[in-house]
Structure 1
Amino acid sequence: MNVEYLSNHPEKIEEVSEMVFNEFIVKTGSSKTFEDVVKHFSNTDTHAFRITFIALENGKCLGTVSIFENDLKIRNKYKPWLASLYTKPEYHGRGIGQTLIAKTIDVAIELGFKELYLRTENASDYYRNRGWTYVETVSDDIYEKIDVFKLKCV
């Protein structure tokens, strides 16, 4: 398995958009359309925000993760954010999520950041068990409970 920049694989943009749309847009009741998500992922970069990675094996996309400047409007003082981590269910248990996170951390360090943040509504234990530090719990107009975590990038 290799982790590569989505921007180097434009043929995977719709597949990544579908994963993110179904997991993070539809489930939240967001008004964003699938076309909005495709447009978002069509404008990713390798050294400036929005950066998206994909896990590839034998040409198949197994999962994705992004680095955003901000992933929680009510907390724009925290930067940057690991966002939209997703592994296809049939590939769970293979360490793909951890590999995608590791790549995200490496690139955050390359970009000069000392901390990386994330938000989760349902996976706090997953991140706690992997060394992320709980920062706070907040609410927004969609979720009553959003846990914010950070990781020191060293």
Structure 2
Amino acid sequence: MIVVEPLSRHPRHVGFVAQLVWREFWADVDDGMTEAELAEAFGGRAEPGRVLASLIALDGDVPLGCVHLIDNDDRSLTELYPWMAAMVVVPGRRGQGIGSMLVRALMREAKAMGFEQLWFGTDGPGFYERLGAVKHLAKGRDFWIMRLPLIEGSG
């Protein structure tokens, strides 16, 4: 059975999550974050207020994916807060509903923290639109800043 839990409950998987996120989002970025920096951030050693929550999907003790709630993921849009970031599922398990589980769990977590919406950037808006997100701003070709309402009727 797949469960989604705070990464802080599974510190042995911080390195795996950092590697997964680095490979998916940072490996081809010059001057991007390193695996070590990601591991520090996801392991609870980010600057205060930077990483608000990190969730991991597990099948038993096998990590399948992760998602994070952070202060901001776009320096040009500092007024947008907070951000869903680095949602990724291991390649062999994509298309099985794990990403949706992760997003919904983060939505519950953010709502419990008192947030009314999440912001994020993606080149795959259709997946998130099925979960209630709306396009907010085009940022280049095929990349969108999106808003995910957490309160009924605020779409």
Instruction: Name the TM-score class by shorter chain.
Output: 0.7 to 0.9
- 2:147 pairs with 1:150: yes
**Any idea what SS the aligned residue of 1:84 has?**
strand
Deviation (angstroms), 1:103: 0.6
Which range is displaced more, 23-32 or 103-112?
A: 23-32
Please give the root-mean-square deviation of Cα atoms over the aligned residues, in Å. Answer: 1.8
**Match runs of 1:2-151 below 5 Å:** 2-43=3-44, 49-50=50-51, 51-120=53-122, 122-138=123-139, 146-151=143-148
**Any idea what SS the aligned residue of 1:94 has?**
coil
> Could you tell me how far apart the structure 2 residues matched to 1:32 and 1:59 are?
27
> Could you tell me how far apart the structure 1 residues matched to 2:101 and 2:32 are?
31
**Any idea what SS the aligned residue of 1:28 has?**
coil
> Could you tell me how far apart the structure 1 residues matched to 2:66 and 2:43 are?
14
Deviation (angstroms), 1:28: 2.8
Alignment gaps of 5+ in structure 2:
none
Alignment TM-score, normalising by the size of structure 2: 0.87
Work out whether residues 3 and 54 of structure 1, in 8 Å CA contact, stay in contact via their aligned partners in 2: yes
**Any idea what SS the aligned residue of 1:56 has?**
strand
Work out whether residues 6 and 44 of structure 1, in 8 Å CA contact, stay in contact via their aligned partners in 2: no
Deviation (angstroms), 1:44: 6.3
> Could you tell me how far apart the structure 2 residues matched to 1:85 and 1:29 are?
21
Deviation (angstroms), 1:52: 0.5
> Could you tell me how far apart the structure 2 residues matched to 1:64 and 1:30 are?
23
| Amino acid in the other structure paired with 1:69 | D
Alignment TM-score, normalising by the size of structure 1: 0.87
Which runs of 4 or more aligned residues in structure 1 lie more than 4 Å from their structure 2 counterparts after TM superposition? none
Percent identical:
25
For each residue in 1:20-52, what CA deviation from the matched residue of structure 2 results, as whole angstroms up to 9, or x when unmatched? Answer: 01111113334332221221212169xx65111
